[in-house]
A and B are shown apart, each in its own frame.
Chain A
């Protein structure tokens, strides 16, 4: 069963230098219970894609296309309808807990706020549900922690609070934006385990540039570059048999795979390269790549690639 169907999504926002085409015609389907990793480097548009789904973007942003959630286009909902959906059906675990948590509110109260809003519970009941949520994300001594402020918690603890908040109203679909950013190796693995268990029967879109994290949690990985998807396949295929030269280069640049960098830098999203957006950095670029923009094609069952080498 399809839970979320993103069709021709285009998200742009104006800047002094011109229109930033952060998400440029993205199509992505997420089934009920499916967990997808959205991989890409800084500035490729992956966070904007996540924010488009929960509609938490600046008013100046323009969104085109459709995002069907259980068949209903959430881009057509008014603010009030969206507010009822957000947090309850679709929730987002924002990146950087240090800046996403309110520094002057106790963490228990911050979690209780969402519960009170959506579940019509009294203050006291919401608070005890918040403590339960903290326990469920393995925060020891949850009763005491609930009365603490964000600055009293470590980075890993704060990430757990963010996850507890995202799960508080038992949503069907969760967007998690860089949940392991800035955590050391051991804490990172704990957060990965927690996310995997907590979302076992849910749909998840996890935004990350850490392939290991995506592999550990996700069934499928979609690769984003300069506002569009370049490859989409099962986690195993993406990691072991990547087809797009960008993805191959990405994997070769991992310290464990040889630390071989991709030459050049990520392109501008204001004026992306003509033809294939990766061609200026591609070791296998052909003459035609400068002119023709490749379409996404299914090269084998469930393995989609946007590259003229496969066309």
Chain B
């Protein structure tokens, strides 16, 4: 079953007024991701891989092409319809510190999806219980709940980001270099955690990284990107 189907996706940027110059950040890419599958997307910096991730969630608008999510062409959806779609697709960014509100305690950040009523009305006690449950799942301690992002390490903050994503309970996740700012041993911890969560929650994922080894560990299939185009897609299993 396909969850994501991308057809001839393009994103061109223009700069200058008289001498207009065009940058083809994404220049016609097509791929699909099955339900429960992880597709790795590798390439050097500037090849357009992050742009593809953002296009998939419609954080930016494509120049042309089609993105079908669970049978619905989301490129044609209006603001309101897209809003309903958003909780089903989420993104993990490279820098956890800038993904979290610095003025919100960790617990408040994780509780936000519940407070917004994403899963129906919930009482304070129920929200607190759910937050503690998620904190435990991502390997943090209850004492972290009352801290601010600056009081935690990069690895711990990335765990907070994961807990908040799980609170939303999405089906599809775009992970854009989620460990690029972390140390090797912390990177291993976070990647293991993402693998476990993916399995336990049956998630589908686009995993973006410039690190071939990391992508190989995380993915079922790997798409190689270069200068806005996907050069080839292959199985991640080593020959």
Also in contact, A261 and B45, with CB within 8 A (given A41-B184, A184-B210): no
Does chain A have a CB within 8 A of B217? Answer: yes
Indicate if the CB atoms of B185 and A261 lie closer than 8 Å: yes
In the bound complex, CA of A266 to CA of B152 (Å): 12
Cβ of B153: which chain A residues have Cβ within 8 Å of it?
42-43, 265-266
Binds A, one of B60-68, B103-111, B160-168, B188-196: B188-196
Interface residues of A (CB under 8 A from B): 41-43, 155, 183-187, 209, 211, 249-250, 253-256, 259-262, 265-266
Pairs across A and B, CB under 8 Å, 17 listed:
A41-B185, A42-B153, A42-B183, A155-B45, A184-B210, A185-B211, A250-B184, A253-B185, A254-B184, A255-B191, A259-B191, A259-B192, A259-B214, A261-B186, A261-B188, A261-B192, A262-B189
In the bound complex, CA of A169 to CA of B37 (Å): 54
Indicate if the CB atoms of B192 and A184 lie closer than 8 Å: no
Interface of B is mostly: helix
State how many angstroms separate the Cβ of A262 from the closest Cβ of chain B.
5
State how many angstroms separate the Cβ of A68 from the closest Cβ of chain B.
32
Indicate if the CB atoms of B183 and A209 lie closer than 8 Å: yes
Considering residues A187, A211, A250, A261, which has the most beta carbons from chain B within 10 angstroms of its beta carbon? Answer: A261
In the bound complex, CA of A184 to CA of B47 (Å): 11
Interface residues of B (CB under 8 A from A): 44-45, 153-156, 183-189, 191-192, 210-214, 216-217
Indicate if the CB atoms of B183 and A41 lie closer than 8 Å: yes
State how many angstroms separate the Cβ of A283 from the closest Cβ of chain B.
13
Indicate if the CB atoms of B185 and A255 lie closer than 8 Å: no
In the bound complex, CA of A155 to CA of B210 (Å): 15
Cβ of A254: which chain B residues have Cβ within 8 Å of it?
184, 188, 213
Also in contact, A253 and B188, with CB within 8 A (given A42-B183, A184-B44): yes
Cβ of B217: which chain A residues have Cβ within 8 Å of it?
255, 259
